[in-house]
Structure 1
Amino acid sequence: MRKIKRRIKIYIPDPKFNDILITRFVNHIMKNGKKSLAYKIFYNAMKKIDLIKKNEKKSSVEIWKESLKNVTPHVEVRSRRMGGSNIQIPVPISSSSKITKAMKLLVTCASIRNEKTMANKLAFEIWDAFNEQGESIKRKENIHKMAEANKAFSHFRF
């Protein structure tokens, strides 16, 4: 069987910053179709980042993009059945999948945090990722460590 080509989604830029990446990120924040609430959470997180940054000259959106870049994994491991056992094979990730995985990492790690509101959780997680610390960076490094540990099986690629 041949793989079916996925249709590329067309995103409408967000109303405040006019950026397509923000719309994609808000879609990952969104639960039960409440997009306006997800936008409020994101914009409140951007305001909180403006309050957090001290001597940083970058805008809150630039800080968010930098933290997204810091969290993006470059390889992942996929299971493949060889003989009687499953082997973890490291595989490079496509550019669109990298962005999606980074967004999911940021949102899931933010939801785990202990702050009061989701906007605060998201703001502090973005700030930690910008400074290359926090749970999302640890998970990214864990993904890379697994790929490095299974580098011997890289010639079994799909």
Structure 2
Amino acid sequence: MRKVKKKEKVYFPDPKFNDPLVTRFVNHIMKNGKKNIAYNIFYNAMNKIDIIKEKEEKSALEIWKEGLKNVTPHVEVISRRMGGSNIQVPAPISSNSKITKAMKLLISCASIRTEKTMANKLAYEIWDAFQEQGEAVKRKENIHKMAEANKAFSHFRF
């Protein structure tokens, strides 16, 4: 084997929900090493989701996990040079990369929303993802559509 497998990174659980997935999400929100600000953004978004949900009996953390699952892509397209042209080859994504891509999709789509604070943007994007609508879900569907359209090149995956 040419490539050495990377050691899987261990994430410590966050202080409030005691979940390592939350810490991983907060690390993606974080900019310039300001982890406390990132935690405040996430926790304020969870509080906002508690306010938004009306008759939903799930907790805010369960809504976030369900929304993350709805945004998770299962395939991606990889650009390959064949002859003189680049072709898009669909390939499955590893489970670790799926989670990372879903988190980045959710955060990037939240940041372009028009609400005032990042916590509100994130809360409404998570809520939309939970209901299987919104920009992040559309982007995931576009990724899947591109992979479906280029299914003919799937045998170039090596």
Q: Report the TM-score when normalising by structure 2.
A: 0.98
Q: Which residue of 1 aligns with 2:82?
A: 82
How much does 1:4 deviate?
Answer: 2.8
The amino acid that maps onto 1:40 is N
**Structure 2 matches for 1:3-82, cutoff 5 A?**
3-82=3-82
Unaligned ranges ≥5, structure 1: none
1:155 aligns with 2:155: yes
Q: Residues 63-117 of structure 1, C-alpha deviation per residue, up to 9 Å, x if partnerless?
A: 0000000000000000111111111000000001000000000000000000000
How far apart, CA to CA, are the structure 2 residues paired with 1:2 and 1:139? 34
How far apart, CA to CA, are the structure 2 residues paired with 1:2 and 1:146? 30
How far apart, CA to CA, are the structure 2 residues paired with 1:133 and 1:120? 17
- CA-based RMSD of the aligned residues comes to 0.8
Q: Which residue of 2 aligns with 1:95?
A: 95
Aligned length: 158
The amino acid that maps onto 2:75 is V
1:104 aligns with 2:104: yes
The amino acid that maps onto 1:151 is K
How far apart, CA to CA, are the structure 1 residues paired with 2:35 and 2:74? 29
How far apart, CA to CA, are the structure 1 residues paired with 2:6 and 2:82? 28
How far apart, CA to CA, are the structure 2 residues paired with 1:140 and 1:6? 27
SS in 2 for 1:91: strand
How far apart, CA to CA, are the structure 1 residues paired with 2:3 and 2:90? 20
Unaligned ranges ≥5, structure 2: none
1:113 aligns with 2:110: no
The amino acid that maps onto 1:9 is K
How far apart, CA to CA, are the structure 2 residues paired with 1:126 and 1:52? 11
